[in-house]
Amino acid sequence: MRLVYVVCICVLPYVPVCASSNRAASRLHPFHPNVLSSKWYSEVYTVTGLYDDETFIQTQMIVTNIGLGDSNAACEMLVLHRGEKPDKTSRRFNKTSWKYSDKPNPTLSIGPCRLTQDGESTRCVLSLDSSVAAISLDRPPGPLKSPDTILTGGALKKFYTYEVLVPWTRILTTLRLPGHPEKQLQGFGMMEHSRSVGFPKDFSRGWISFYGHRAGSQFLAIFHFPAFEASGAVGWTWDSREETSKPMTGLRTVMKTTGTCGILPSVTAPQEPSFVIDGQESLYRFSLIDELGPILGNIVRLIVGNPVTRFYRAQARVSPDQPVIVGVLEIMNLE
């Protein structure tokens, strides 16, 4: 589920580690990549923020062996402002440009970007050319108590694992973008982590994420469509009022034509008719294949398919007696 991807890296959500690699990684700090020798390995840290002024920021720090001429690490940032053009920035780094250090604080550094546990808080700084985001989450990393997501790719021993390291919590961000004054933002944010050997199409037909809040509480929903089954999405929701997760199955996504806003998605759960997430406004579309151009794009398409990610302002209702939850809906489909 996420943002952009260095050549051949595609949006995937994130998960706790699988099988034999899980035992080795469990001894490491969450910010310490456990790089495997497989040429298809990738590890991704995603920070997502939804702010009081409706700005949406998603950052990624990536360590990988995947790609045509890939340089083994990358940092990426997407900023969506209300009524303004999206700002997307990314930069790749070679394998000598990233490192993990325990002192003075556990820190993953990729070029000028870094992810740090600072006592009881988590800090992420992305400095990409003239775009800089200094992000602070007011919780340390620690896996959310939710159903583990461990997907396997069959006989080839491919795996994809995902975990939420920091669930929705208070977030403060200093943002500097070219041509804009520095902004101080506050709202709610989270951090996810994934590890995988393989490509998105090996594990899923698509992903759905909804990041939302309502008076005094935060809400998170994450679902994926099984790769080789013509079935609805499966996953879970999380509500900060209970600090617990709820598994859900059979979710469906349909695209509806609206009068003024074009075609927008609606996510429903036939088993729970009161559950619905409705897109309200299209914010951004990203296609790795389109960005790479016709020649390299068609080569990559043969390997990974065509992952397309769309972001929408959205509203969710989880039960008839609860108020509407406002937020951002992210949908990745392999087209």
What residues does each domain of the chain span?
Answer: 19-334
Low-confidence ranges of the chain (pLDDT < 70): 1-27, 38-39, 66-71, 143-148, 153-156, 259, 289-305
Nearest to 8 by CA among 64, 59, 47: 64
pTM of the model: 0.85
* Closest C-alpha to 152, from 4, 15, 303: 15
**pLDDT for the residue 42:** 86
3-state helix, strand, coil in the chain (%, to 5): 10, 55, 35
pLDDT of amino acid 84 = 83
CB neighbourhood size of 26 (10 A)? 10
Q: In this structure, are residues 189 and 50 in contact, taking their beta carbons and an 8 Å threshold?
A: yes
- On whether the CB atoms of residues 286 and 3 are closer than 8 A, the answer is yes
Ordered alpha helix ranges (H), the chain: 19-25, 288-292, 294-304
Q: What is residue 146's predicted lDDT score, i.e. its pLDDT? A: 54
Distance, in Å, from the CA atom of 316 to the CA atom of 276, rounded to the nearest integer, reads 6
* Parallel/antiparallel/unpaired status of strands 204-214 and 217-226: antiparallel
Nearest to 137 by CA among 146, 147, 125, 128: 125
Pair 86, 80: CB distance under 8 Å: yes
Within 8 A by CB and 6+ apart from 96, the residues are: none
Identify which of 29, 6, 72, 13 has the alpha carbon closest to the alpha carbon of residue 330.
13
Residues in contact with 277: Cβ distance below 8 Å, sequence separation at least 6, in sequence order: 208, 210, 221, 265, 266, 267, 314, 315, 316, 329
- Which among 225, 233, 224, 239 is positioned nearest to 319, based on CA atoms? 239
CA 263 – CA 278 distance, rounded (Å): 11
The whole-angstrom separation of Cα 160 and Cα 158 is 7
Q: Could you report the per-residue pLDDT of 242-253, keeping only the tens digit for each? A: 777 888 899 999
pLDDT score, position 155 = 53
Count of Cβ atoms closer than 10 Å to residue 280 Cβ: 14
pLDDT of residue 31: 94
Q: What is the pLDDT of residue 216?
A: 72
- Mean per-residue pLDDT of the chain: 81
> Taking the CA of residue 148 as centre, how many other CA atoms within 13 Å lie in the half-sphere pointing to its CB?
11
Q: Is 243 helix (H, G, I), strand (E, B) or coil?
A: coil
